[in-house]
Amino acid sequence: MEINKFIDHTILKATATEADIIELCKEAREYEFFSVCVNSGYVPLAKKQLSNSKVKVCAVVGFPLGAMSTEAKVFEAEQALKDGAEEIDMVINIGELKSKNLKKVEDEIAAIKNVIGDKVLKVIIETCYLTPQEIVIASELAVNAKADYVKTSTGFGTDGAKMENIKLMKKAVNGSAKIKASGGIKNLDTALSYIEAGVERIGTSSGVSIVKELKG
């Protein structure tokens, strides 16, 4: 199995330096990961580092809280694409979901999908803050808004990916969107268990050690 092709090689911490981004891209080239996932301000640097490679650049939008205005998220997504991003991982407005302002949540996802067009949109629903019912609703809203993926977590919440939540999401999207697991995926066994459960992308900062474990 080419597990590297499932991996979005990720660095999103506030303290990430230019040198960290350059190293991330170097590793992504070496291990042929699917993409690197970075904060939007680092997209130009990542794009430059990955020129003449097949590794895509993925940018997070509205990260990590999701509580900024829709206009701000739309602008951030547009700018990330201009800077060379090929995929967008956006955070939903969790408070609006919990307030049952469902149309507002769906419209925001749709607005971002509208500006990025045929580029891939992954919707981070931050499962650790949601009830099982809210996980289902959030996944359905993402599908309604034509998102390509539903994603478990930012990695900055109180918890990361969980098998029971992935199963809920998979059932809710019913084949109309793919699933990305992220948050706390640090070893091969965990990554493989999610892939076997139908996950099509893994977000992790442990991609190198996971690949080494597989080869080892």
Catalytic residue among 151, 162, 170, 178: 151
On whether the CB atoms of residues 202 and 7 are closer than 8 A, the answer is yes
pLDDT tops 90 at residue 150:
yes
Q: How many CB atoms sit inside 10 A of residue 30's CB?
A: 12
pLDDT tops 90 at residue 34:
yes
CATH number of the domain to which 37 belongs? 3.20.20.70
**Catalytic (active site) residue 180:** yes
Please report the pLDDT score of residue 159 as a whole number: 97
Q: Domain of residue 14: give its range.
A: 3-215
Q: CA distances (Å), 174 to each of 83, 135, 160, 166, 185, in order?
A: 33, 14, 22, 12, 24
pLDDT tops 90 at residue 77:
yes
Please report the pLDDT score of residue 63 as a whole number: 98
> Per the structure, how many domains does the chain have?
1
Residues 101-110 have a mean pLDDT of: 98
**Catalytic (active site) residue 20:** no
CA 204 to chain centre: 10
pLDDT tops 90 at residue 1:
no
Q: Tell me the backbone φ, ψ of residue 185, rounded to 5 degrees.
A: -90, 100
**pLDDT exceeding 70 applies to what percent of the chain?**
100
- What confidence tens digit (pLDDT) does each residue in 39-67 have? 999 999 999 999 999 999 999 999 999 99
**H/E run at residue 37:** strand 35-39
Q: What angle do CA 104, 71, 74 make, to 5 degrees?
A: 95
On whether the CB atoms of residues 181 and 167 are closer than 8 A, the answer is no
**Catalytic (active site) residue 151:** yes
Catalytic residue among 83, 89, 148, 170: 89
Cα separation, 59 vs 2, whole angstroms: 23
Mean pLDDT of the chain, nearest integer: 98
**pLDDT exceeding 90 applies to what percent of the chain?**
99
- Of 148, 100, 93, 104, nearest to 126 by C-alpha is 93
pLDDT tops 90 at residue 185:
yes
Residues 149-155 have a mean pLDDT of: 98
CA 115 to chain centre: 18
